[in-house]
Structure 1
Amino acid sequence: MTRLRREPLAEQAADALLARIRAGEWALGQKLPGETTLAPQLGVGRSTIREAIRQLAGRGVLATRQGSGVFVTALDVTEDWAQVLLRADIDAVVEARIAVEVEASALAAVRRTPAELRAIHRAAAARDAHRDDVEGHVDADMALHRAIVAAAHNPLLTELFDGFAPRSRQAMIELLRLRGTHGSDADQLVHQRIIDAIAAHDAESAAALSRSHLLTLKTSA
């Protein structure tokens, strides 16, 4: 039996409950014992257990369902997204881009409007005009891919793209500087072929071309 000895008790109780969840004592979706059971197990009052549950609910681990009880909704605390992105290496960023942009390209081929296609073409022209400096080229490239993702009409894909855009920008700059080359005619042609597939409503080709292109960016490829 775990007993808590130091202040603040609520934080300690939350840590103790989280440790038991991590150890597999309660499975995902399982209901926790009631306050009258947990409180004596931890040697604290029911109000402390309530506060500990509130803290873990705020961290996404537990959820209180009115009239039903407290349930496990995650097996660990989700790490801060910004910290995850800071540690992500180039290949991890590329793989995340593949996950988002391949599907977005396919959806854009099906859902894009004429106005969105014109925006994609404008972004491609701007990308072509920014071949001289790495940072300008990466910014123009991201603007093009952002236009494609927006044309997918999926707010979650757009949110994901925007969420790791700063880390993606940094990773692409690092990669292109490492390789010492960017903005080649072949690279521009690949992007034009993706756009052509989107314009032709060819979802399969748009996805395949996007995946093939992004895979070439992996440093381990």
Structure 2
Amino acid sequence: MQIQRKTLAQEVADRLIQGILAEEYVIGDKLPIEPELMKIYGVGRSSIREAIKILSIKGVLSVQQGVGTFVTSKNVQESLETQITKAEIEDVYEVRSLLDSKIAARAAVSRSEKELQTIKNFLDLRDKLAAENKAAECYQADINFHISIAEACGNSLLKEIYKITSTHILRTFEISHNNNTDSFRLSQKIHTELYKSIENKDPENAARIAQMIVDKVY
């Protein structure tokens, strides 16, 4: 379960929005033709067309057949993903602190046997990679362990918010842990306890342990 990355079309759409907000393109401007946009952004025709479609749906661009594509608005509301990417890490951890215990408690009640097995698989993989000091792979396994719990919580909105915050958390692992897995070996026991509380369908204990993990009480 790899964390999803932005598509090329989404990246182009984001860059176009940045250009509009910076007034490189103002309301009423006609965008360059497709071949020029392909050259500017280094992507293929399909990515350009999809990016324009994304911004047309948002009301930022207007496509006039046979005439061109025009900027119609700069009132762009940033997506949750963009806001989290720009947020300070302390704010992201605060969001995670609010989410983790709730998600763990719900997962303890809602999880299926298949979802439980997925959680266990990532728990075991986390342990193995930490012992082998395979840092990047271990960080990803840890993130996937927590995402798999969110997948089992039965609330699709909580799951999606958690997946977005996890992308940012992974980047902080890569920066702050200096390619080392010592803390992951140390915290394996409490992660196992979290798994067991979910396995035993004990929401109160799952919430308590999840909060301890967030607070690094282990």
Q: Could you tell me which amino acid in structure 2 is paired with residue 162 of structure 1?
A: K
Percent identity over paired residues: 23
> SS in structure 2 opposite 1:177?
coil
Which string of whole-angstrom CA distances, capped at 9 and with x for unpartnered residues, describes residues 150-205 of structure 1?
A: 11011001110222332121022223239884322x30001000011111111011
Residue 92 (structure 2) aligns with:
93
Once the two structures are overlaid, the 10-residue window that deviates more, 168-177 or 106-115, is 168-177
Q: Find the aligned partners of 1:143 and 1:119 in 2 and give their Cα distance.
A: 9
Q: Count how many residue pairs are aligned between Structure 1 and Structure 2.
A: 148
Unaligned runs of 5+ in 1: 1-6, 10-56, 60-75
Unaligned runs of 5+ in 2: 1-25, 29-57, 61-74
Alignment of 1:1-221 (within 5 A): 78-131=77-130, 132-177=133-178, 181-184=182-185, 186-216=186-216
Q: Could you tell me which amino acid in structure 2 is paired with residue 124 of structure 1?
A: L
Q: Which has the larger radius of gyration?
A: 1
Q: Find the aligned partners of 1:166 and 1:194 in 2 and give their Cα distance.
A: 21
> SS in structure 2 opposite 1:183?
helix
Shift of 1:119: 1.2
Alpha-carbon contact 2:84-2:164 (below 8 Å) kept: no
Shift of 1:104: 0.8
Q: Find the aligned partners of 2:27 and 2:92 in 1 and give their Cα distance.
A: 39
Q: Could you tell me which amino acid in structure 2 is paired with residue 205 of structure 1?
A: N
CA RMSD of aligned residues (A): 2.8
Shift of 1:215: 1.4
Residue 48 (structure 1) aligns with:
none
